[in-house]
């Protein structure tokens, strides 16, 4: 029987190594998709978080607007104030004196610290990375409206043709914003170009956030339940409930949106039997946050989400040592430290195996 040639052996080795590498890549890719955990950091006790970005949380501490930045607390406004939003170098909130509130904006750029005026009662609800502030003004007389404070501190009163009182909700970097009609389930989408008539109106839908892809999150009022739902983006799109939930026995609240289109929601979720979840409409996947492992701080469960960052961070309250404490969290792959690159080691081994015979053949001394 003729023995296989050196060239045949090398060809077979190439095929075998390729198959092994591809198999390893497939397994590793699947593991990356499934291996997730929540990285949690405890925020100072007594801090009430409202919004988050990166390692910074804005909210209220002891009745004062404050920022928690990776363990350091900075008071934004003394007494009777609340921090409500944070983006880039800017944060926003409001102070209340004698029953009336005044919005403020604080920025690290040129140490900007501006009271934004008052219209009888004014509360900032969101801010962009360039310092544009979205607020709700209530001068009385049933004409509560969204208000945009521009970067030059001029103001534009929005949705003036809407009857009844309207609350501002959230604004994105394109200056598109969402609002909701007070005491009803009607929401509005506005591009910011025409601040009188909304570009889109949604009935039986309470908007809670808009991200930078113009996806809108909120709650659909259906069958007596507030069902977590969202819009795919843009205008004139009907909201739809989050799939994979039993919407006939589900009630919950969408807390916010990532720019990656994942929806963070919390509340009583019926017979799906969970507290908090992430939903990615692109992959149509839903994750129970309390089913994942937790890394850091010793939290045993997450109870509520009060703020969501565009970068994928979220803040709220959880249980640690039997006590309720504020936290900041984000998702992380459990394989990030164990797998440098899928299949890299196997591919390198194959290359060395293939080069070995060639190197030996080239360095073998020639016969005299």
DSSP 5: P
- Residue 279, H or E segment: strand 276-280
**Residues 321, 325, 329, 333: what is their CA dihedral angle, to the nearest 10 degrees?**
10
Residue 300 has pLDDT above 50, yes or no: yes
Confidence at 7, pLDDT banded by 50, 70, 90 = low
User: Comparing 97-106, 128-137, 209-218, 356-365, which segment has the lowest mean pLDDT?
Assistant: 356-365
Summarize pLDDT for 41-55 with one digit per residue, the tens. 999 999 999 999 999
Bigger pLDDT: 225 vs 261? 225
Which contacts (CB < 8 Å, 24+ apart) does range 128-132 have? 128/87, 128/88, 128/90, 128/171, 128/172, 128/173, 128/175, 129/87, 129/88, 129/89, 129/90, 129/173, 130/88, 130/90, 130/173, 131/90, 131/105, 131/107, 132/171, 132/175
Query: What mean pLDDT, rounded, does the chain reach?
Result: 78
Handedness of CA 215, 204, 133, 192 (dihedral sign): positive
Say how far apart CA 232 and CA 215 lie, in whole Å.
5
Summarize pLDDT for 80-103 with one digit per residue, the tens. 999 999 999 999 999 988 778 888
Say how far apart CA 123 and CA 81 lie, in whole Å.
10
Give the model's pLDDT for residue 306: 92
CA proximity to 313, closest of 117, 94, 43 = 43
Give the model's pLDDT for residue 92: 93
Domain ranges within the chain, ordered by starting residue: 80-203
- Residue 363, H or E segment: helix 344-363
Say how far apart CA 107 and CA 92 lie, in whole Å.
9
Say how far apart CA 118 and CA 101 lie, in whole Å.
7
Bigger pLDDT: 227 vs 108? 227
Give the model's pLDDT for residue 269: 57
Provide the percentage of residues in the chain whose pLDDT is more than 90.
38
Residue 266 has pLDDT above 90, yes or no: no
Residue 142 has pLDDT above 80, yes or no: no
CA 87 to chain centre: 12
Say how far apart CA 40 and CA 328 lie, in whole Å.
6
Provide the percentage of residues in the chain whose pLDDT is more than 70.
76
Beta strand 276-280 with 314-320 is unpaired
For residue 158, report the phi and psi dihedrals to the nearest 5 degrees: -105, 155
Confidence at 27, pLDDT banded by 50, 70, 90 = very low
Confidence at 189, pLDDT banded by 50, 70, 90 = very high
Residue 338 has pLDDT above 60, yes or no: no
Give the model's pLDDT for residue 308: 93
- Say if CB 173 and CB 128 are below 8 A apart: yes
DSSP-assigned letters across all residues of 66-135: EEEETTEEEEEE-SSEEEEEEETTEEEEEEEETTEEEEEEEESGGG-EEE---SSSEEEEEE-TT--EEE
- pTM, two decimals, is 0.79
CA proximity to 168, closest of 132, 114, 115, 213 = 132
Length of the chain: 368
Residue 332 has pLDDT above 50, yes or no: yes
Say how far apart CA 63 and CA 59 lie, in whole Å.
10
80-203 has CATH 2.60.40.10 classification: no
Summarize pLDDT for 147-171 with one digit per residue, the tens. 999 988 788 989 988 888 899 999 9
- Say if CB 159 and CB 144 are below 8 A apart: no
Mean pLDDT on 124-147: 89
DSSP-assigned letters across all residues of 13-46: HHHHHHHHHHHHHHHHHHHHHH-EEEEEEEPPTT
Say how far apart CA 169 and CA 147 lie, in whole Å.
11
3-state secondary structure of 143: coil
């Amino acid at each position: 029987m003729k023995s296989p040639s050196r060239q045949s052996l090398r060809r077979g080795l190439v095929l075998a190594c390729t198959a092994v590498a591809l198999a390893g890549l497939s397994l590793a890719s699947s593991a990356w998709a499934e291996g997730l955990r929540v990285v949690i950091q405890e925020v100072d006790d007594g801090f009430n978080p409202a919004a988050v970005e990166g390692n910074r949380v804005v909210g209220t501490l002891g009745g004062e607007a404050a920022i928690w930045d990776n363990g350091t607390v900075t008071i934004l406004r003394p007494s009777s104030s609340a921090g409500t939003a944070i983006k880039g170098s800017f944060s926003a909130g409001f102070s209340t004196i004698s029953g009336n509130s005044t919005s403020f904006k604080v920025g690290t750029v040129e140490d900007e610290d501006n009271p934004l005026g008052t219209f009888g009662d004014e509360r900032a609800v969101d801010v962009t990375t360039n310092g544009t502030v979205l607020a709700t003004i209530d001068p009385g007389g049933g004409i509560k409206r969204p208000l945009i404070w521009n970067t030059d501190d001029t103001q534009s009163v929005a949705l003036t043709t809407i009857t009844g009182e309207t609350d501002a909700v959230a604004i994105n970097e394109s200056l598109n914003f969402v609002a909701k009609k007070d005491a009803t389930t009607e929401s509005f989408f506005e591009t910011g170009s025409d601040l009188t008539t909304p570009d889109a109106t949604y009935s039986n839908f309470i908007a809670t956030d808009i991200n930078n892809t113009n996806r809108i999150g909120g709650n659909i009022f259906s069958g007596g339940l507030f069902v977590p739902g969202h819009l795919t983006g843009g205008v004139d799109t009907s909201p739809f409930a989050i799939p994979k939930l039993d919407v006939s026995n589900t009630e919950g609240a969408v807390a916010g949106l990532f720019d990656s289109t994942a929806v963070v929601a919390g509340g009583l979720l019926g017979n799906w039997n969970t507290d908090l979840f992430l939903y990615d409409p692109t992959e149509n996947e839903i994750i129970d946050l309390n089913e994942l492992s937790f890394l850091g701080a010793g939290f045993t469960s997450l109870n509520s989400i009060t703020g969501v960052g565009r970068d994928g961070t979220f803040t709220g309250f959880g249980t640690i040592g039997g006590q309720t404490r504020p936290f900041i969290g984000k998702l992380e792959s459990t394989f990030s430290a164990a797998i440098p690159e899928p299949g890299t080691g196997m591919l390198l081994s194959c290359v060395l195996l293939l080069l070995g015979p060639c190197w030996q053949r080239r360095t073998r001394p020639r016969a005299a």
